[in-house]
Amino acid sequence: MADKSKEKWYRKLRHKYRLVILHDETYEEKISFRLSRMNVFVAIVSLSVFLIFITTYIIAFTPLREYIPGYTDVSLTRRVIELDRTADSLAQVFYQKEVFLSNIRRIIDGYEETEDFTANASSGLPSSAYDTIRLRKSVQDSLLRLEFESAEFNLVTEGYSPPENLRIRKPIQNFFVPLKGTVTNKFSPVQKHYGVDIVARRNEAIKSTLDGTVVFADWTIDKGYVIGIMHSANLFSVYKHNSVLLKNEGDLVRAGEAVAIIGETGELSTGPHLHFELWLNGSPVDPEVYISF
């Protein structure tokens, strides 16, 4: 009896049925399908497998998986590490640029001992804890100190010639005269006068001595309108007490191109003139050694 009922259930799966689609008004047959329970079951299972496969493919191999809640990008960790390294590098570069610009502002405002912006480039932070260093004097050191302190030195400012490491290794004819006139005050490191003062007629144009980039163009209380140009080989030229600035920060200038107009701005000016300075590797050099005014 059980076998007969089981056979009867199995036969029901193969019973044929017809699915007919009729016109609603005329009852005309449009489409008809011959179906069985087995065919319908197989079709439903096949469709389900296909949908599962498509969904799995989209989640595993397309960017649409990032829109699924709780699903993270597998490359997110790597990208975060790369961004962290980039941010660290940018912080070091920013610190170097900040110290470099600070040194340029010191040059423009008046010479002071400048900080070496390459000293701590690797760490990006100024060194500290120098007070913990303890050094002992040796006999040789004491003798050297005694010899040095007993020696006589003759500091000569006239006809000053910069040391070998501060000499500009370029022909003099490459330097363009920024302003033709009379030198009224010469270069004197002893008096903290790190340039030359040149007197000329009013409204004379001041020209760039070399090709370079304007890194400073602004007003200062002591020096008035000041413009600073960075050249190649770590050479920096400064033009002070101008009446008008013709260039802005970031502008590229050519040698002989007008960058300002002579003036007498600033509290330290006593008349229309140009205060011109040349700096090499952060140290002042005598402009008259390289330029004939």
Token reading at 236 = 């920096």
DSSP for residue 174: G
Q: What CA–CA distance (Å, rounded) separates 228 from 176?
A: 15
Percent of residues, the chain, with pLDDT higher than 90: 27
**How many structural domains is the chain composed of?**
3
Q: Are residues 56 and 84 in the same domain?
A: no
pLDDT of residue 114: 46
Q: What CA–CA distance (Å, rounded) separates 264 from 103?
A: 25
Q: Are residues 241 and 281 in the same domain?
A: yes
Q: Are residues 59 and 78 in the same domain?
A: no
What CATH number is attached to the domain comprising 198?
2.70.70.10
Q: Are residues 179 and 224 in the same domain?
A: yes
Res. 73 pLDDT band, cuts 50 70 90: low
- Residue 99: inside a domain: yes
Q: Is 61 exposed, middle or buried (0-12, 13-18, 19+ CB in 10 A)?
A: exposed
Residue that wins the pLDDT comparison between 204 and 155: 204
- Residue 251: inside a domain: yes
Res. 31 pLDDT band, cuts 50 70 90: confident
What mean pLDDT, rounded, does the chain reach?
79
Q: Are residues 239 and 262 in the same domain?
A: yes
45: how many CB neighbours lie within 10 A of its CB?
10
Q: Are residues 200 and 254 in the same domain?
A: yes
pLDDT of residue 72: 65
Residue that wins the pLDDT comparison between 187 and 134: 187
pLDDT above 60 for 106: yes
228 DSSP β-pair partners: 216, 238
Q: Are residues 107 and 47 in the same domain?
A: no
Phi, psi of 157 (to 5 degrees): -100, -30
pLDDT digits (tens, 9 = 90+) for 265-274: 988 877 889 9
**Which amino acid is present at 204?**
E
Q: Which domain holds residue 22?
A: 13-63
Give the pTM: 0.50
pLDDT above 90 for 245: yes
Q: Are residues 182 and 253 in the same domain?
A: yes
- Residue 146: inside a domain: no
Summarize the confidence of residues 138-151 as an average pLDDT.
Answer: 71
Res. 230 pLDDT band, cuts 50 70 90: very high
- Residue 129: inside a domain: no
Q: Are residues 115 and 225 in the same domain?
A: no
Summarize the confidence of residues 51-76 as an average pLDDT.
Answer: 76
Q: What CA–CA distance (Å, rounded) separates 68 from 227?
A: 57
- Residue 127: inside a domain: no
pLDDT digits (tens, 9 = 90+) for 252-263: 999 999 999 999
Q: Are residues 190 and 285 in the same domain?
A: yes
pLDDT of residue 164: 58
pLDDT digits (tens, 9 = 90+) for 115-144: 444 444 444 444 455 566 666 667 777 777
- Residue 83: inside a domain: yes
Q: Are residues 36 and 101 in the same domain?
A: no
pLDDT above 90 for 9: no
Q: Are residues 195 and 269 in the same domain?
A: yes
